[in-house]
Chain A
Amino acid sequence: KQEVTQIPAALSVPEGENLVLNCSFTDSAIYNLQWFRQDPGKGLTSLLLIQSSQREQTSGRLNASLDKSSGRSTLYIAASQPGDSATYLCAVSTSGSRLTFGEGTQLTVNP
């Protein structure tokens, strides 16, 4: 059974800092890995999708890496802003459709 763990559970940083969120998974036979953002009481916004054959994806200030063999992914956020405050969820797909989610990292960026 796939298990996804995210560390840290919560993170508070001053505006402008670069930061890294971590995600690990137990079954390396994944189809892809997705990072999402969730604002309080809202649905999920897809940030980045990394296919199993890829090592990283970039979108603006976000960079996600994937090391499938070690079962790890990181989400790097550059020059953090207060608007980045949200919960970040990592999810892996082992069959091309079914997603297993981590517990999330609650990020607070202080002005």
Chain B
Amino acid sequence: GAVVSQHPSWVICKSGTSVKIECRSLDFQATTMFWYRQFPKQSLMLMATSNEGSKATYEQGVEKDKFLINHASLTLSTLTVTSAHPEDSSFYICSVRTSGRLAGNEQYFGPGTRLTVT
């Protein structure tokens, strides 16, 4: 399957600052990547769909001005949490959807980034 990396794996930041999380598809060119958020003891919730070369599509209730997504290349998508607050503390996971060579529209997930806002 596709290999997906995320950086950083964990980050602690002060309230009011911005944090950028990178998601890389290491062996697959992904026109579409997805960003999820997972709170403790809860399942994953889709935040947005990141499309290479165009604007991201955000899920209902997700503030696009707060969670900035950039998908500048076929192997890199970034999520920037702007003016972070403690309630933004969560586990952020990206995924890539395979198609074509790896048929089936299977999704492969990165290792996640643990964000703690103090």
Contact = CB atoms under 8 A, between A and B. Distances in A.
B105 A93 contact: yes
Contact of A42 (B45, B46, B111): B111
A37 to B, nearest CB: 11
Name which of B32, B95, B110 has the most chain A CB atoms within 10 A of its CB.
B95
Contacts of B106: 32, 34, 46, 49
B61 to A, nearest CB: 13
Contacts of B93: 43-44
Contacts of B58: none
Interface in A29-53: 31-32, 34, 36, 41-46, 49, 51
Interface residues of B, number: 25
The main secondary structure of chain A at its interface with chain B is: strand
B104 A97 contact: no
Contact of A99 (B32, B104, B107, B111): B107
A6 to B, nearest CB: 9
Closest 7 CB pairs of A and B: A44-B109, A43-B111, A101-B43, A43-B112, A43-B109, A49-B106, A101-B44
A16 B37 CA distance: 34
A89 interface: yes
Contacts of A31: 105
Nearest to B32: A97
B97 interface: yes
Interface residues of A, number: 24
Nearest to B114: A41
Contacts of A99: 34, 44, 46, 95, 107
B92 to A, nearest CB: 10
A98 interface: yes
Nearest to B110: A43
Contacts of B44: 44, 89, 91, 99, 101
